[in-house]
Each structure stands twice: as C-alpha cells, then as structure tokens.
Structure 1
Amino acid sequence: MRANLYLPHPIYIDSGEGATLTDIDGNTYIDTCMGFGVCVLGHRHPEIAAAISRISGSGWHFGIHSEEQLPLAQLLQDAIPCAERLLFCNSGSEATGYAMRAARAFTGKEKIGIFDGYWHGMHDYCMVAPTAVDSRERPSGVEISTGIPKAIRDLIVPLPYRNPSAFDIIRANKDELAMVIIEPVQHSNPQREAGAYLKSLLEVCRECNVLFALDEMVTGFRLAYGGGQEYFGITPDFATLGKACGGGLPIGVIAGREDFMRMFLPKPGEQGVFTGGTFTGNPLSMAAGTAAVRYYSEHPEIYARMAAEGDRLTASFNDFAARHNMAVQMSNVGSMFHIYFQSGPVRSSFDIDEKPMERARQAFLMHALNLGVLISGANRYYLSAAHSREVVDRMIDVFQESLALVREDGLF
C-alpha cells in the first residue's frame, strides 16, 4: 500500500452509501476520504446513479463527440467565474499538464512557479517540490520521485507559500516565468486566511505579465458552487478542475479566458497546443458530472451546512485537545480539514513537522478506525453533504475517544 494511503491494516471496500463505506468483511465506517475529495454529495447519490444507469443502457464509450458534453459544459461555464471557454480531459494531472503546455505556448516563456505544500498532479513538472533546507524565504527545488529528468528542475521556480518573498522571486524571474499556479486552499494545509495573499499574488502576476492559475481540483464545487474563485472573490486567467465536477467518474477541466483557451483551437495551418485522450468527454463522465453540478446549482444550501459542520468538528476537536494539553490540532476551510500532530501555528508546509509524533498519529488512525471512522494516512479529509449533524456528532465522539486512547498508550 502506498505510503500516502497508510492505514493501520489493509481495508478493501465493497460498497459506499452516503457518508459511509463498507469493507469486504462487512464493517461499516464513517468515511473522511470521500474519494479524495470527489464525493461532495456522498457515495452513490441517487441522481448521479440514475444518470449513470441511463447512459449504460445506450453505450458508454464512442470516441466521437456525444450530446452529453454540452449540458455539462454549459453548467460549468455558468458556475466558474473565469470560464469564458473550457476544455475537457480525463484527470487532474492531464488538466494541469495541458495548462502548463498552453501557458508556455501562449507566453513564449518556459518556467512554472509552484508553491510548497502543493499537489498539482503526477506528471514530471509536478514532481519538483520547494524545500526550505537552504532557506524558507528562497526555497530550492527537489525531486519527489526518482525517474525525473534533471532538466525539469531548471524549469520550475520554487515559491514559499503565504510568504511575501514569493512576490520578489516572481519579479526576478518574470522574463522567464510563463505562469504561477496555486490552490485557493491547499488540501494538505487548509488555511482560511489565504484570500488576501491570493489577491496580492494576482496583482504581482499582472504586474509581471505572468499568467495566474488556480488549481481548483479540490476546491471546485466544494468550497462553494463557484469554488475558490467565488469563496475568495478572485478571478484567475484560467483554472484547472476535476473531482467534484465529474460526479465520481474520471474528469479533468481547463477553464479560462478566451484568448488563452484559443491556444487549444488552432486554425488550419496554425500550430496550436495538442491535447488528446481516448476517454476525453466520454458519456458516462459527462452525464454523471451534469447530474452532480446541476444538483449543486439547485441546492446551494449544502455549502453553508457542510461549512458549519466542518467548523463545529474543528472547534470541538481543538477544544478537547487544548483542555487535555495534547500536541494535536485540526484546521479546516469549509468541508476540508486536516489534523496536525504538533503544537504551534501552521502557516505553510515548512511549519509542518509531525515526525516526533508519528507514532501518536498512527495510533490515532488505528483507534478511530476501530471505532468506526475511516481516516487514511493521506491526512487530507473531507465532509460531504451526506455527513448529517448526527454523523458529525459521532465523529466528534470517536475523535475524542481516540485521542484519549492515544494518551493511554503513552504517546502524548
């Protein structure tokens, strides 16, 4: 099992329903993974299930365009502030990879600015991460996988998250920097104070003629109907999306201003940005996405309720930890939350150091799992519209009991 999917013992899922998962041994858990942020409406939502069933009755892959694409495209264009035009692909990694290719083509520059704590996919250009080994103010890049060409490091400009020195780095590299990409809220470090920083970053990118991109793979249709753009009141040059807008099926989307998006639509004889994929725009993903996004549009109240439950869960967790002098804390933005086994403020990934408390963290995962709440070692957690007040009440009880058991284990 991959390290970022660490579980105290192997679990294989048989089915999902609402806020719960059931494994092949018949154990049912409250789910906090939610398909890594995909399942905003919970598992097996009836309207999405009906859309998938409808398509499966008439064929689910053609290669050629189908009429299922247009309804989803129109819904996305109405919902996403920056979406003058959009392009479908099959995954978040494809979306960010195509976006980086288009940014280089559009600007004639080759470098990409990436912040610490990011996740923008699994292609080579996203496998160089900023590290503070030399300096927090001026991070260097380090490969996070073997097999990455050394030349890739020279094409990445490492940036320190929520640190104004990033603006100076952008200015210093503006003649080579095609774009800067950032998550409105990092799912590895959800901090609700990010809004002011995003607006300053946009201003600096405009000043330097550098494209500004939001990676809304997780925040899109989760923080708000209009994603992080609506939540923070900011409109990028373009955004990449996926996860929630596919209703649980594979999808990627690039949405942006018209002149940039036209790089994907070359006229005959012109050289444009190549994209392609056998399953792009497939009817199953389009129909499931349409059902999901239409539901988000017609039920905007789910966002306020998910945020309220996320705030309540976080407040209860932190109050319990503080009263019992435990070196652990929870941070959330809306329905996204993260648990840090450490004390002190966390502003960026450079502040996160859980190695001293790793045994405590693993014990917490085990106790929560045994008490019926599934938490993966990925440490990126989500609520859904299916997490009722009663479900969150149970989560609060399980988390508190699990923390108490970690103390009994002698790990606090």
Structure 2
Amino acid sequence: GHRHPEIEAAIKARSELGWMFGIHTTSQMKLATLLHEASPCAERVVFCNSGTEATMYAIRAARGFTGRERIAIFDGAYHGAHDWGMWAADPSSSRDAPDKVPMGRGVPRALAELVLMLPYRNRAAFDLIRENADSLALVLVEGVQSSNPQPLAGEFLRELAEVCRSCGVLFGIDEVITGFRLAYGGAQERFGVTPDLAAYGKVLGGGLPVGAIAGRADVMEVFTGLGARNGIFSGGTFSGNPLTMEAGAAAVGHLKAHPEIYANLEQRGDRLARKINDYCQSRQLPVQMKNVGSMFHLFFQRESIDSMRDVTAPNVRAEKAFYLHALNRGVLVPGTQRAFLSAAHGESEIDELIAVFTASLDDVQAEGLFA
C-alpha cells in the first residue's frame, strides 16, 4: 500500500542523516543481507537503480563470465527498456522457432543476431537452447510472465534450469516483478528453482527506485572491476543510495516478519480470479482472468491462452469500455492490463473489485460490445 508507517519512518530517519554520498554505506549491507537470506541464488549482490538496469547488468555479467555474446529470451517477455530486452516474437513466424521483431522504433536491428527468441512454455525451446548452447551466454526468463500469468509456470522453469545446466549455459530469472511478491523468496522459493543469476527491482526498494543483481559467487566476481579477470563495468551515482536501501530494508523486513501476507495475497488473488471467471462463464462472456497469486491479467477473448501467441484477436473496444466503466466506479486498472494486489487489499477490497468488475462487464454487454 501507500505510506506504510514502517517505511515512512525509515525514510524520515535516513533523511536526517543525509541521503546521497556516492560511496558504499552500511545501509547497503542491511538490504543486501536480507536479499542474501531470502534469495536461494544470492551468494553475492550488486545494487543499481531499476529493474531495467538489473537485467542489463545481468546480461553483461553473463557475457563477461562466459565470453559469449548471445542471449536467449522468451516470446511474451518484458525485461526492461534497454535494447537487449526490447524484442518480441514475430506473430507470423513459427510457434516452435519464432523469429523476432523490435518493440518499436529506435532498437537497432543489428542486435537481432545476438538475441535468440524462444517459445514460452514450449519444449521446443529446450531444443533451441541445445542447438545454440555454444554461443549463448544467458537464458533469461521471468519468474512468471506478468503479461501471461500461468499457474504452471514453475514446472517449465525447473525443466528449463536443468536444460541450461546440462548445456553449460547460464540460467537467469527476472524477479523484478516476482521477487518478494510470489513468496518471500520470489519465484525461486515458490517453484523450487535456483538460477545462476537473478534480477530484482520494485518491491525491493520499498517504493523508491531500485535494482539489484544477485547470483553465484563465481559469476558475480565479474563485478569487482575492469581490472579483474573477466571484469565488467558497472556503476551509477545513485546506485545503492542509503535512502532507497533503508526504505527497502524496512519493506523487506516487514515482509519477513509477517509471512502471513503471502498466504493472504494468494487466497485473495485466487478468489478474485475464480469469481470473475465463474461470472463470465455463467453469462458466456468472452473474457477470462489469469492469475498467479496476487498477479492477474484480464483477457478479452474466449479462446484459451497458453502463451502470448494465443492472444490473437482480443476485443479491444470491449476492453477499453470495461476499464472506463471500472474507472467511473472508482477502480483504476493500469493501461497495460497487468494488475497486482497488495497487502493493503483486504477482503472488503476484493469484494469491491468483484462487484465493480462484474457490473462493468454487464455494462459492456448491454452496450453490445461483445457481439
């Protein structure tokens, strides 16, 4: 939620001591220790300023460690706004071996040769990794795709990790969204999988800008500097600033002290999705809600969705009308349609969401937009 008293107190206390020094502080050690304890892979931790920076540095670290330049990502994924993450599957290409296209203008097409696009939750991805293993530095995957939250994501992650290890390719999980959300230990804890590298952001900063790279000690050694063996450059004036570190430590510390938060989020997210899906099925509405715990996404189509390649003909008019009706009833859903519950959402807020969503769906149906 907003203005949590423990986080607000931590920010105020730190601000009285100063918040920008450009050097390492004990505040970094406080948050790094919490991340080390929570994340199965976090033998070492490096802080940066955002999730985008975290995935960017994870990719650079993998290249420095392996000496290889190519990376692999999955269709439907989002790994930040740097050029390496701004690629999508070409919808006209093969589902088992998708080609890729840039996400908008400004992404150099020359980089395409260094990015391998893999099909999400499709075993054909494993064959592509094996075929390209000699050139791949890293296979990067979201703990759960926020664009497509699938309950069986964990089964795929575990098998993917084994394929990468058998091929000698580093395996990375983008925990920018799933870290400290799906469980205290993120997707790693929830699904029982340990990557070589992980990227963090969002929850870790307690509401302030943050990013972090965590991973195996030997891989993370590349961050010791350009003079080190396989050393890479990393840095940032505000990376690990004490204001963010104290806010993050307060947020993560609260989550550690209150593990019941995760059971509550899981139950409430599942209840919301179940009620909306039951309502849509009872009225034969071409709408479905996908969720994993507190992550949820509404899709305005009847056809089943396994990967984002299955989102073929969404009813955009109905979708826009639904969100406008929900807004008019006091519920704001992000324009990306990727939505999340927080610990501040209790049972009464879930009841309100269900009432607003079902009433808004009725409005859309009455307007004939589902025809």
Q: Does 1:375 align with 2:325?
A: no
User: Which residue of structure 1 lines up, in the alignment, with residue 241 of structure 2?
Assistant: 282
- 1:399 to 2:361 alignment: no
Tell me the SS of whatever aligns to 2:303: coil
* Partner of residue 12, structure 1: none
1:235 corresponding residue in structure 2 = 194
SS in structure 2 at match of 1:327: coil
**Larger RCO (CA under 8 A, 6+ residues apart):** 1
Q: Distance in 2 between matches of 1:354 and 1:259?
A: 46
**Cα distance in 2 between the residues matched to 1:123 and 1:269:** 25
Q: Are 1:61 and 1:279, in contact at CA under 8 Å, matched by a contact in 2?
A: yes
Amino acid at match of 2:147: S
Q: Aligned pair in 2 of structure 1 residues 271, 331: CA closer, same or farther (>3 Å)?
A: closer
| Correspondence for 1:30 | none
Q: TM-score w.r.t. structure 1 length?
A: 0.88
Shift of 1:45: 0.8
Q: Name structure 1 gaps, 5 residues minimum.
A: 1-41
Question: Quick one: structure 1 residues 338 and 269, their matched pair in 2 at CA, closer, same or farther if it must change by over 3 Å?
Answer: closer
- Residue 207 (structure 1) shift: 1.2
Match of 2:145 among 166, 186, 195: 186
Which of 204, 218, 242 is the matching residue for 1:245?
A: 204
Unaligned 5+ segments in structure 2 are none
Provide the rounded CA distance (Å) in 2 between the counterparts of 1:124 and 1:44: 34
Distance 1:396 1:73 in 2: 39
Residues 1:361 and 2:319 aligned together: yes
Percent identity, please: 55
Indicate conservation of the 8 Å contact 1:338/1:379, yes or no: yes
Deviation at 1:145, TM superposition (A): 2.1
Q: How does 1:139-288 map to 2 (within 5 A)?
A: 139-266=98-225, 268=227, 270=229, 272-288=231-247
For residue 408 of structure 1, what is the aligned residue in structure 2?
366
1:332 equivalent to 2:291? Answer yes
User: Structure 1 counterpart of 2:331, which letter?
Assistant: V
Q: Say whether the 8 Å CA contact 2:78–2:86 is kept in structure 1.
A: no
Change in CA separation of 1:277 and 1:407 when aligned onto 2, cut-off 3 Å: same
Return the offset for 1:55: 1.3
Render the CA deviation track for 1:228-279: whole Å, top value 9, x for unaligned.
Answer: 0000000011100110011000110100010000011148565511101010
1:44-74 residue CA offsets vs partner (Å, 9 max, x unmatched): 1110011111112222111122221111111
Q: Evaluate the alpha carbon distance shift between residue 247 and residue 269 of structure 1 in structure 2; reply closer, same or farther with a 3 A threshold.
A: closer
Amino acid at match of 1:378: T
Distance 2:248 2:214 in 1: 15
Aligned length: 370
CA shift at 1:354, angstroms? 4.2
Q: Distance in 1 between matches of 2:304 and 2:337?
A: 17
Q: Structure 2 vs 1, CA of residues 269 and 375 (structure 1 numbering), >3 Å: closer, same or farther?
A: closer
Q: Secondary structure at the match of 2:182?
A: coil
Q: The residue matched to 2:92 in structure 1 has which SS? A: coil
Cα-to-partner distance string for 1:297-350 (whole Å, 9 max, x where unaligned): 000000000110000000000011001110001011000000000012211010
CA contact (8 A) 1:310 1:337 kept: yes
Q: 1:338 to 1:386 in 2, by over 3 A?
A: same
Q: How many Å separate the matches in 1 of 2:29 and 2:141? A: 28
| Kept in 2: contact 1:161–1:348 (CA 8 A) | yes
Q: Counterpart of 1:374 in 2: which secondary structure?
A: coil
Q: In the alignment, is residue 390 of structure 1 matched against residue 345 of structure 2?
A: no
Q: Distance in 2 between matches of 1:352 and 1:133?
A: 13
Q: Any conservation in 2 of the 1:81–1:235 contact (CA below 8 Å)? A: yes
Paired with 1:270 and 1:322, the residues of 2 have a C-alpha distance of: 59
Q: Report Cα offsets for 1:350-396 as digits up to 9, x if no partner.
A: 001344x1000000000000011111221100001110101110110
Spell out, residue by residue over 1:182-217, the C-alpha distance to the aligned partner (whole angstroms, 9 max, x if none): 011101100011111111111111111100000000
CA distance in 1, matches of 2:46, 2:271: 37
User: 2:11, 2:37 → 1: CA distance?
Assistant: 23
The ranges of structure 1 where at least 4 consecutive aligned residues each deviate by more than 6 angstroms after the TM superposition are: none
SS at match of 2:23: coil
The normalised TM-score by structure 2 is 0.98
2:336 alignment partner, SS class: coil
**Greater displacement, 144-153 / 264-273:** 264-273
In 1, the alpha carbon distance for the partners of 2:69 and 2:188 equals 26
Aligned equivalent of 2:16: 57
What secondary structure does 1:411 align onto?
Answer: coil
2:226 and 2:233 in contact (8 A); partners too: no
* 1:131 to partner: Cα distance: 2.2
- The equivalent position to 2:36 in structure 1, one of 63, 77, 80, is 77
1:130 aligns to what? 89
CA distance in 1, matches of 2:155, 2:350: 30
Give secondary structure in 1 for the equivalent of 2:134. coil
Contact 1:132 1:138 in 2 (8 A): no
CA contact (8 A) 1:91 1:250 kept: yes
| 8 Å CA contact 1:114, 1:130 repeated in 2 | no
Q: Which moved more, 1:297-306 or 1:143-152?
A: 143-152
Provide the C-alpha distance between the structure 2 equivalents of 1:354 and 1:329, rounded to a whole number of angstroms.
14
SS, match of residue 347 in structure 1: coil
Distance 2:109 2:316 in 1: 32
Q: Which one-letter code corresponds to 2:361 in the other structure?
A: L
SS for the counterpart of 2:188 is helix
